[in-house]
Amino acid sequence: MREIEGWLLADHLAMKSLLGNRVNVPRDPDNIRDPKECLLHLAQGAPRDVKRDLLTERGAIASRGLGYNQRLCDYVNTSWNPTRAAERSDSLNRVVGRLEQLTASLPIDAT
């Protein structure tokens, strides 16, 4: 995985709720060369408020909108489902599996 945006794109149902049902979310986010650029491209067809947060004004120096981080944090906290995303992202699936292994190996504190 090159960027966290690939894992965000992996939950296609939540991504459609963010960007609109008409967006064509790639099926294999692990193989997107530039997930951030893909997300920004998909956002061009998003509702106005989402576009305003994610995209920059024409001619701006920044690569993403001022509300980019906040909008995606809200998306993760309210819509994104890591289990659903792991079904489309092998790299996320491996991370989730490893975290489950680590959690199971931790000693249980009975205090």
- The low-confidence residues of the chain, meaning pLDDT below 50, are 1
Does 78 reside within a domain? yes
What's the start-to-end Cα distance of the chain, in Å? Answer: 39
What residues make up the domain containing 60? 4-104
pLDDT of residue 108: 79
pLDDT of residue 87: 97
pLDDT of residue 2: 63
Does 109 reside within a domain? no
Does 51 reside within a domain? yes
